[in-house]
Structures are given as structure tokens and as C-alpha cells.
Amino acid sequence: MAVQRILAFGDSLTEGYYNGGMGFHPYSQKLTELFGQAGVDVKVHQHGVSGECVVGANVLPRCGSSRCGGATPGMGDRLPLVLQQTELEGKRYEWAVVLGGINDLGYGATARRTYGGLKELYGMCHAHGARVLALTCLQTAWTKPGEVDERSKLNDLIRDAPKEMPYVKVADLEAALPYPSDSDKEGQACWDDGLHLTPKGYDVIAQVVFDALKDSLAAPPPQQQAAASAAAQ
């Protein structure tokens, strides 16, 4: 059976940023390990850029960051290049895991504008021939319990994405990794700072993604594997 490819696309949470940028532990590493343990030949291509926004340059009105405004491109500028490179190699991604938006919100973008950018990313992946696993945005240290803020609104929009885009599946990262209380020692072990995760936390993301994709990327039955092996000889 041919190698199946997964694109892990996003910002610092995809790149695996922790310890103030002194270390990186992308969830793609553990995800590859989990599929290997399940007997599935998968290659996970990690394309995360710390500090990157979903929407592109000159879109965020109150963005003062050199990373997210001015001449800086956004994910919508970068993703076509990633997909094109794969296509030039004669390959395709079966799935694209997309995580982004928290930087946009932090710089003043609305949930609806950010979701508009995410929809464009989802559409690009679909045009490439990949299905999309959309991840909701994590809470932060500044999330107020019960508050319906822009992040909550964005997550609601992401959760509804499959209704208009049947090629999109959603994995609720927010529910899987809530920001821990002071008494939640196990949860605290997953969080590095108010925004990023520890290696243990990134491994949780890998488990969430694996659980969402394992059935669609499952290894073929033994007899099918034997037939494919015989045909290759």
C-alpha cells in the first residue's frame, strides 16, 4: 500500500514551540509514531510557523507585530506554495490538519474575519485533493470561564464548518486540552506558558489527531497487504 501523507499546517502550536522558543516538539513526531504502532505507513509533513496569522498582510487593522502585518504573508499566502511543491513532486496529501487563528484574534481580528481566512485554507486543501481536519483553538491563560469571547465564537464557526464543507472534519482541541486550574497538576504538565504547550501537551494534540484520522487511514486487512506485496514482486 502506498505511503499516505498528512499535512500538519499552522502556527507555533503546529511547530511545537515551548520554553520561550528554545525548544520545539511538533505534534507531528508523536503522530507519526502512533500511526506506526497501528501498522499504517504514514508520512506527516510539518509546516508550522510560529507567530503566523491566518489572514495575510495588511488585513489586521490593529496589528502592530512585525510577524503579522506590513509585508508579512499569512497562512493563505504560504499554503499554496506548500501544496504546489508536493504536486510538483507528483504527490498528494490525503489529509491536511489545519490549526490557526489564535494569533489573529490576539492582534485584533474578529472571529468572523479569521474564520473567513480558515475557510480559504480549507478550500485550498480540498482543491488539492485532501480532506481537512480542522482543529479548534485552545484556551489561553486569559480565557475567562463562561465568557463568549472572539475565540469562543471562532470555535463555534469551526465546529459548524462540515455543514457547508462536507470534506471538513472537526477535532475539538479545546475540549481535549482545557486550560488547567491551579489544582489540576496533570493538566498543568501539558502547558508551558499561557499560550503554548509542553512536549507532553503536544503529544496530546497528536493523540487527538490520531483518534480523528485512524479509521480513515487504517491499515488494510492482512490478505490485502499480502496481495499488494505479491503484486509488487
pLDDT in tens, 100-128: 999 999 999 999 999 999 999 999 999 99
Predicted confidence (pLDDT) per residue in 185-206, tens digit: 999 999 999 999 999 999 999 9
C-alpha cell at 66: 512585525
Please give the pLDDT value at position 219.
Answer: 61
Please give the pLDDT value at position 218.
Answer: 73
Q: pLDDT confidence of 169, banded at 50, 70, 90?
A: very high
> CA-CA-CA-CA torsion for 30, 34, 36, 38, nearest 10 degrees?
180
Domain boundaries, the chain: 4-232
Please give the pLDDT value at position 2.
Answer: 79
Predicted confidence (pLDDT) per residue in 18-65, tens digit: 999 999 999 999 999 999 999 999 999 999 999 999 996 544 444 334
Residues 6+ apart with CB under 8 A from 95: 5, 6, 7, 130, 131, 132, 133, 213, 216, 217
Is it true that domain 4-232 has CATH number 3.40.50.1110? Answer: yes
Output the average pLDDT for the chain: 89
Stronger pLDDT, 92 or 67, i.e. the higher one: 92
For residue 22, count other CB atoms closer than 10 A to its CB.
7
Q: pLDDT confidence of 67, banded at 50, 70, 90?
A: very low
pTM summary value: 0.88
Give the lowest-confidence range in 1-10, 46-55, 89-98, 117-126.
Answer: 1-10
Task: Report, in angstroms and rounded to the nearest whole number, the Rg of the chain calculated over CA atoms.
Answer: 18
On the question of pLDDT at 81 being above 50, the answer is yes
Please give the pLDDT value at position 94.
Answer: 97
In terms of Cα–Cα distance, which of 9, 15, 14 is closest to 80?
9
On the question of pLDDT at 72 being above 80, the answer is no
In terms of Cα–Cα distance, which of 81, 47, 50 is closest to 67?
50
On the question of pLDDT at 224 being above 90, the answer is no
C-alpha cell at 115: 474564520
The mean pLDDT of 198-215, rounded to a whole number, is 98
